[in-house]
């Protein structure tokens, strides 16, 4: 809905820009009215139109790619996990706003709906207190209140206190009847309804002003076509301050009086100016192309094909063969990988160009290219892409990459099996690995996103995962989550071709699916969750405190370093009383976070289901539960610390993958203050350091580990005398 509204706002803004620059000053008032109304409707339609001419590339090829069995991720499968959700921090902030924005939108819509209802009520009350006189073509409503004459649909409201000469009364009557006969009130009601739905879009207010002004120009024109403009203009000036009228109605003494008089005295626009209205056509076509299609190819190509292809020459097979063979010769003769890849890029660009130039000969070009590839023995495959084909380079810096081999790569544990037993075993291991590590991103859950993410990666001849990339995207943090899981996969047993280990390209489809009827998780319920056996909050708090005191231990690292501070955890007590998805929202380090999460895990098994929270009507609800745990040293323990360290508290801290190999992703929020980030060996040697003199409160970066030896390291984050420490394992 938000994307649609933004696109509508952009369309309206561009249409209004054309109107304001070129059309507003013209005297084609009827055309301007229909332009404004037409672009209002066009702006609503363009984002939802789906044009058929843009191809959508499919990830599935022609059987030359190997796909692992799809992994389906549902919310229930992820309920009982201790790991914090690994999504980009922007996604977490979006999740918060996606909870707040619907409420803000609803409040605004209700306000403008009530405002519109108040306007109708104001008109109705005035009508009830007035004398109604049916006339030919309209109904005259004589009121006892002081106000300017105004009209609404077929009703003309006229104050008895209004004193005008007979000629002036005739001018006013003609003006208001013009509003009635041209159905201007329909425009006003349409704009009010759109104003309720799109109250947060500024263009809707400009549309209201512009259309009201055009209405007045049209009604004025109906009068001065038969009356002297000078006398009519003097009437408008004389009565400019004669009273108010309801917002939903039209009044002869409407605002923008200066502009109305300017338009009255302006010369009629020439017919040549009508050409300006043709500007709407290319503008609408541009917006259609920009917003009406929503499916895009997510495949990352090594070389982009030409944007514009012409076909000046007839097809010559010999010329096509010669050009493609030249690039393949360069590739096969080169030994350096970067030169081979550049040669492939030229071959692919040339192949794509020929396919686009001669679509009727596409199959012949494909056959010709495959013959040349076979002759040269180069690692290239021609595969499907959308409605056509393209070339793929099946080689990495370490050698050729296969797509299907005699024995496919697999996770350790199935080496002695064959046939269907091997396939079943490898699939079960893959499912277990993914389910143990993947999370359904909160941003995707809040937005109701579902769908299939397809990741492509290479398992090299040593069993390591290389070059993971997303081939099909659904957004909402799901792509990042799948990439994270793929990067953290353990070492594989490599694929084998003719008995030798080889690099193999793999595809992993992961289906994200929300559980049907999933409940919304409340921040606060009318009755908060209670521990089993308790009937009130005091009992539940006391029982929780007793459990924590019995099971929670002060980590030795924290105790020896004199660390004190607060760890904040957050988890869900669902509508059936189950505790799920615990995570640390404020970190202390030194093993304190892990200690708290371990106790929360124990609560699941030892305390059993809670009494779930409930709404005002008594219906059970899922509720977020925040648990703060303070670590404090007593006198003798504090005195025993030789070199006490003041703990630095971090919010939204994460360091992954852990164990790590090539890099470590670190992110956190802290106070705005000069900050130092370092990786140290257990003996205190500093291996890496970053000094952030202008730290702005948020950090997110990758720490390179290529020059750091295997083993346990200490990630330290320091602000002045305050320090945060987390253990990290580097393992290759």
pLDDT per position as a tens digit, 230-267: 777 777 766 555 545 555 555 444 446 777 777 877 77
pLDDT confidence tier of residue 635, bands split at 50, 70 and 90: low
Q: What local confidence, expressed as pLDDT, does residue 377 receive? A: 79
pLDDT confidence tier of residue 64, bands split at 50, 70 and 90: very low
Backbone angles phi, psi at 277, to 5 degrees: -70, -20
Q: Mean pLDDT, to the nearest integer, of 711-723?
A: 85
Please report, rounded to a whole number, the percentage of residues in the chain having pLDDT higher than 90: 9
CA–CA separation, 367 vs 544, rounded Å? 72
Q: Mean pLDDT, to the nearest integer, of 717-725?
A: 85
Direct distance between the N- and C-terminal alpha carbons of the chain, in angstroms, rounded to an integer: 45
Inter-CA distances, 629 with 194, 455, 565, 727, Å: 50, 39, 8, 21
Our CA angle for 285, 288, 292, nearest 5°, is: 165
Q: What local confidence, expressed as pLDDT, does residue 97 receive? A: 55
Parallel, antiparallel, or unpaired: how do β-strands 66-67 and 500-513 relate?
parallel
CA–CA separation, 358 vs 363, rounded Å? 10
Q: What local confidence, expressed as pLDDT, does residue 191 receive? A: 92
Q: Mean pLDDT, to the nearest integer, of 417-427?
A: 79
pLDDT tens digits, 439-479: 888 778 767 778 888 888 888 888 888 888 887 888 888 88
Domain boundaries, the chain: 3-54+274-291, 66-86+406-513, 98-263, 317-385, 519-629, 648-732
Residue 177 has pLDDT above 50, yes or no: yes
- Share the mean pLDDT of the chain: 78
CATH number of 648-732, picked from 3.40.50.720, 2.60.40.1930, 2.40.110.10, 2.40.420.20 = 2.60.40.1930
Q: CB–CB of 442/95 below 8 Å?
A: yes
Residue 195 has pLDDT above 50, yes or no: yes
CA–CA separation, 630 vs 566, rounded Å? 4
* Threshold 0.85, pTM exceeds: no
Q: Mean pLDDT, to the nearest integer, of 99-115?
A: 86
* Nearest partner of 195 among 249, 116, 256, judged by Cα: 116
Q: CB–CB of 450/514 below 8 Å?
A: yes
DSSP state of 448: T
pLDDT tens digits, 295-337: 333 333 333 333 334 444 577 888 888 888 888 888 888 878 7
Helix, strand, coil shares of the chain, percent, nearest 5, are 40, 25, 35
pLDDT confidence tier of residue 79, bands split at 50, 70 and 90: very low
pLDDT confidence tier of residue 294, bands split at 50, 70 and 90: very low
Q: What local confidence, expressed as pLDDT, does residue 56 receive? A: 34
Q: CB–CB of 273/28 below 8 Å?
A: yes
CA–CA separation, 385 vs 55, rounded Å? 10
Average the pLDDT over each of 19-33, 451-465, 491-505, 640-654 and give the range with the smallest value.
640-654
CA–CA separation, 550 vs 546, rounded Å? 6
Q: Mean pLDDT, to the nearest integer, of 676-696?
A: 84
Residue 94 has pLDDT above 50, yes or no: no
* Nearest partner of 672 among 638, 642, 696, 643, judged by Cα: 696
pLDDT confidence tier of residue 196, bands split at 50, 70 and 90: very high
DSSP state of 21: I
Q: Mean pLDDT, to the nearest integer, of 432-443?
A: 79
Backbone angles phi, psi at 438, to 5 degrees: -85, 150
Q: Mean pLDDT, to the nearest integer, of 68-73?
A: 54
Residue with tokens 């024109």: 221
Residue 87 has pLDDT above 50, yes or no: no
CA–CA separation, 732 vs 727, rounded Å? 17
Q: What local confidence, expressed as pLDDT, does residue 313 receive? A: 59
Q: What local confidence, expressed as pLDDT, does residue 114 receive? A: 92
Residue 88 has pLDDT above 50, yes or no: no
Query: Which CATH architecture is the domain 519-629 placed in?
Result: 2-Layer Sandwich (3.30)
Residue 80 has pLDDT above 90, yes or no: no
Q: What local confidence, expressed as pLDDT, does residue 199 receive? A: 92
pLDDT confidence tier of residue 203, bands split at 50, 70 and 90: very high
Q: What local confidence, expressed as pLDDT, does residue 334 receive? A: 81
Q: What local confidence, expressed as pLDDT, does residue 630 receive? A: 82
Residue 653 has pLDDT above 70, yes or no: yes
Please report, rounded to a whole number, the percentage of residues in the chain having pLDDT higher than 70: 82
Q: What local confidence, expressed as pLDDT, does residue 515 receive? A: 62
pLDDT tens digits, 569-581: 888 898 888 888 8
Bond from prior residue into 661 cis (ω within 30 degrees of 0): no
Q: What local confidence, expressed as pLDDT, does residue 535 receive? A: 87
Which one is predicted more confidently, 168 or 54? 168
Q: Which fold has domain 66-86+406-513?
A: 3.30.1150
């Amino acid at each position: 809905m938000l994307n649609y509204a933004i696109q509508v706002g952009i369309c309206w803004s561009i249409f209004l820009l054309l109107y304001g620059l070129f059309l507003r000053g013209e005297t084609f008032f009827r055309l301007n009215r229909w332009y404004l109304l037409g672009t209002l409707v066009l702006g609503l339609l363009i984002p939802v139109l789906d044009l058929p001419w843009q191809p959508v590339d499919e990830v599935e090829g022609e059987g030359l790619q190997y796909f692992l069995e799809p992994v389906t991720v549902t919310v229930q499968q992820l309920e009982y996990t201790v790991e914090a959700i690994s999504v980009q921090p922007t996604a977490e902030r979006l999740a918060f706003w996606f909870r707040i924005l619907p409420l803000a939108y609803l409040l605004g819509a209700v306000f403008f709906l009530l405002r519109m209802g108040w306007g109708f009520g104001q008109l109705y009350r005035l009508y009830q207190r007035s004398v109604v006189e049916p006339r030919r073509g309209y109904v005259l409503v004589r009121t006892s209140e002081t106000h300017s004459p105004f009209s609404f649909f077929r009703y003309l409201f006229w104050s008895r206190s209004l004193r005008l000469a007979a000629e002036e009364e005739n001018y006013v009557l003609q003006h208001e009847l013009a509003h009635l006969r041209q159905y201007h009130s329909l425009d006003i009601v349409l704009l009010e309804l759109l104003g309720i739905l799109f109250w947060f879009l500024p263009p809707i207010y400009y549309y209201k002003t512009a259309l009201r002004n055009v209405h007045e120009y049209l009604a004025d024109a109906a009068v001065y076509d038969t009356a002297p403009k000078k006398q009519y203009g003097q009437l408008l000036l004389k009565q400019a301050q004669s009273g108010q009228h309801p917002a939903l109605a039209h009044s002869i003494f409407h605002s923008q009086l200066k502009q109305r008089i300017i338009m009255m005295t302006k010369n009629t626009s020439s017919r040549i100016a009508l050409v300006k209205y043709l500007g709407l056509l290319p503008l609408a076509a541009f917006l259609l192309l920009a917003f009406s299609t929503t499916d895009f190819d997510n495949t990352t190509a090594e070389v982009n094909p030409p944007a514009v292809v012409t076909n000046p020459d007839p097809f010559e097979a010999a010329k096509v063969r010669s050009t493609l063979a030249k690039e393949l010769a360069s590739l096969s003769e080169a030994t350096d990988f970067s030169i081979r890849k550049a040669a492939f890029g030229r071959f692919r660009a040339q192949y794509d160009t020929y396919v686009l130039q001669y679509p009727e000969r596409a199959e012949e070009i494909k056959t010709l290219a495959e013959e040349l590839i076979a002759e040269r023995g180069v690692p290239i495959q021609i595969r499907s892409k959308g409605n056509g084909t393209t070339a793929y380079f099946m080689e990495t810096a370490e050698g050729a990459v296969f797509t299907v081999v005699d024995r496919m790569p697999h996770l350790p544990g199935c080496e002695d099996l064959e046939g269907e037993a091997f396939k079943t075993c490898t699939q079960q291991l893959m499912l277990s690995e993914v389910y143990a590590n993947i999370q359904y991103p909160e941003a995707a859950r809040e937005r109701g996103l579902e769908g299939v993410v397809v990741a492509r990666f290479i398992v090299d001849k040593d069993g390591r995962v290389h070059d993971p990339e997303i081939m099909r995207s659904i957004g909402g943090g799901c792509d990042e989550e799948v990439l994270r899981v793929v990067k953290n996969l353990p070492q594989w047993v490599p694929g084998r071709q003719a008995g030798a280990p080889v690099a193999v390209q793999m595809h992993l489809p992961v289906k994200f699916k929300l559980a049907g009827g999933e409940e919304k998780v409340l921040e606060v319920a009318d009755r908060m969750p209670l521990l089993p056996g308790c009937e009130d909050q005091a009992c539940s708090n006391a029982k929780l405190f007793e459990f924590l005191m019995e099971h929670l231990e002060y980590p030795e690292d924290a105790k020896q370093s004199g660390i004190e501070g607060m760890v904040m955890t957050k988890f869900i007590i669902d509508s059936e009383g189950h505790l799920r998805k615990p995570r640390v929202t404020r970190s202390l380090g030194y093993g304190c976070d892990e200690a708290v999460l371990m106790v929360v895990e124990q609560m699941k098994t030892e305390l059993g289901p809670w009494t779930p929270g409930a709404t005002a009507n008594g219906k059970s609800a899922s509720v977020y539960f925040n648990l703060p745990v303070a670590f404090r040293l007593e006198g003798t323990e504090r005195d025993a610390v030789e070199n006490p360290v003041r703990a630095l508290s971090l919010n939204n801290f994460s360091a992954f993958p852990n164990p790590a190999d090539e890099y470590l992703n670190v992110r956190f929020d802290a106070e705005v203050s000069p900050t130092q980030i370092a990786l140290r060996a257990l003996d205190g040697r500093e291996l890496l350091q970053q000094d952030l003199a202008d730290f702005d409160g948020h950090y997110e970066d990758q720490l390179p580990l290529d020059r750091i030896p295997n083993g346990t390291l200490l990630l330290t984050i320091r602000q002045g005398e305050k320090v945060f420490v987390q253990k990290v394992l580097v393992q290759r």
